[in-house]
């Protein structure tokens, strides 16, 4: 178990994302992290890598670009960023906490399998560190899309870190698309069901050659009580622990003796 991390003021915090080094949500999370500690490092992709999942760059070189003091971009995936940070930039002292986000858009249901935001936190967990992925649900065109996350993220991070949790678990947080004063609370919920990519859209380029887009439509269940999808629709901040070990224990037992 990770012991409670109550002294965040002396903690080393690594911040990453999948929306890229210039993303608004990353700048917000960096500001949030700096309210918690003075030892904050930012290592993020040089460009948007949404949907990259837990991909590694194996067949191309990685380039590290300095964007300021303790602030770097990497020409790779979110997973690459955390690996470069931990094994190169922070090799003198490992991070105490990895924060990923704040993603522009929710990471709910099955999104977590594709999300580069979650993947950065997942890599932090695999490397043995406490990690939290944070995403802001955005619906329509709100004038301040990250308002809920900005207001609530610092206290939520403090509360989460003040409790012990298993070393093979990361925390996935989603802020609802509403003003901070309209937030209806914070709830611990399980992962819901929302599948992306089922609708493939075929189109033609100017030369008449066909190409395809993975469509944005999603089959989702917003009414299953106790899930992230249902709760965020009630303007609730959702907190979901995600396990790294994907072994299904019941099937493991049922297959005993079969092989």
Instruction: Please compute the mean of the pLDDT values over residues 103-131 and round it to a whole number.
Output: 96
The pLDDT assigned to 156 comes to 98
The pLDDT assigned to 51 comes to 84
Q: Which band of pLDDT confidence, cut at 50, 70 and 90, is reported for residue 140?
A: confident
pLDDT at residue 116 tops 60:
yes
Q: Which of 75-89, 171-185, 188-202 has the lowest mean pLDDT?
A: 188-202
The pLDDT assigned to 201 comes to 83
Q: Which band of pLDDT confidence, cut at 50, 70 and 90, is reported for residue 217?
A: low
Residue 168: partners with Cβ closer than 8 Å, 6 or more residues away:
125, 243, 244, 245
Alpha carbons within 13 A on the beta-carbon side of 46: 10
The pLDDT assigned to 197 comes to 60
Query: How many C-beta atoms surround the C-beta of residue 9 within 10 A?
Result: 9
Q: Which band of pLDDT confidence, cut at 50, 70 and 90, is reported for residue 214?
A: confident
Domains delineated in the chain: 8-254 (3.40.1210.10)
pLDDT at residue 3 tops 80:
yes
| Nearest to 179, CA basis, from 149, 135, 159, 206 | 149
43-100 pLDDT, tens digit per residue, is 999 999 988 889 999 999 999 999 999 999 999 999 999 999 999 999 999 999 999 9
CB-based contact 152:28 (threshold 8 Å): no
Instruction: Please compute the mean of the pLDDT values over residues 104-110 and round it to a whole number.
Output: 94
- Among residues of the chain, what percentage have pLDDT more than 70? 97
Length of the chain: 259
The pLDDT assigned to 80 comes to 97
The pLDDT assigned to 143 comes to 86
The angle formed by the CA atoms of residues 28, 29 and 32, to the nearest 5 degrees, is 90
**Between these two residues, 205 and 213, which has the higher pLDDT value?**
205
- Residue 194 DSSP code: E
Instruction: Compute the distance between CA of residue 165 and CA of residue 100 in angstroms, rounded to an integer.
Output: 18
The annotation places the binding site for a divalent metal cation at: 18-19, 50, 103
Averaged confidence pLDDT in the chain:
94
The pLDDT assigned to 196 comes to 66
Instruction: Please compute the mean of the pLDDT values over residues 7-15 and round it to a whole number.
Output: 96
Q: Which band of pLDDT confidence, cut at 50, 70 and 90, is reported for residue 216?
A: low
- Residue 88 DSSP code: I
Q: Which band of pLDDT confidence, cut at 50, 70 and 90, is reported for residue 103?
A: very high
**Between these two residues, 140 and 240, which has the higher pLDDT value?**
240
pLDDT at residue 223 tops 90:
no
pLDDT at residue 120 tops 70:
yes
The annotation places the binding site at: 18-19, 50, 103
């Amino acid at each position: 178990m990770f012991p409670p991390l109550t002294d965040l003021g002396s903690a080393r915090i690594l911040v990453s994302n999948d929306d890229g080094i210039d993303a608004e949500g990353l700048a917000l999370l960096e500001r949030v992290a700096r309210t918690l500690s003075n030892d904050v490092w930012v290592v993020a992709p040089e460009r948007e890598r949404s949907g990259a999942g837990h991909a590694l760059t194996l067949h191309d070189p990685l380039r590290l670009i300095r964007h300021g003091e303790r602030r770097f971009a990497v020409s790779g995936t979110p997973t690459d960023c955390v690996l470069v940070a931990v094994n190169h930039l922070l090799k003198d002292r490992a991070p105490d906490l990895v924060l990923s986000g704040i993603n522009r858009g929710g990471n709910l249901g099955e999104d977590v399998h594709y999300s580069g935001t979650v993947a950065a936190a997942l890599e932090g967990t695999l490397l043995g560190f406490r990690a939290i992925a944070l995403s802001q649900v955005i619906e329509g065109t709100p004038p301040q899309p990250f308002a809920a996350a900005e207001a609530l993220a610092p206290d939520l991070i403090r509360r989460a870190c003040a409790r012990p949790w298993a070393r093979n678990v990361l925390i996935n947080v989603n802020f609802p698309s509403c003003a901070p004063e309209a937030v209806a609370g914070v709830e611990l919920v399980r992962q819901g069901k929302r599948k992306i990519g089922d609708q493939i859209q075929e189109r033609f380029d100017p030369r008449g050659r066909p190409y395809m887009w993975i469509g944005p439509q999603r089959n989702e269940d917003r009414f299953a009580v106790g899930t992230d999808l249902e709760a965020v629709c009630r303007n609730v901040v959702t907190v979901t622990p995600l396990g790294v070990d994907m072994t299904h224990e019941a099937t493991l037992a049922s297959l005993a003796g079969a092989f």
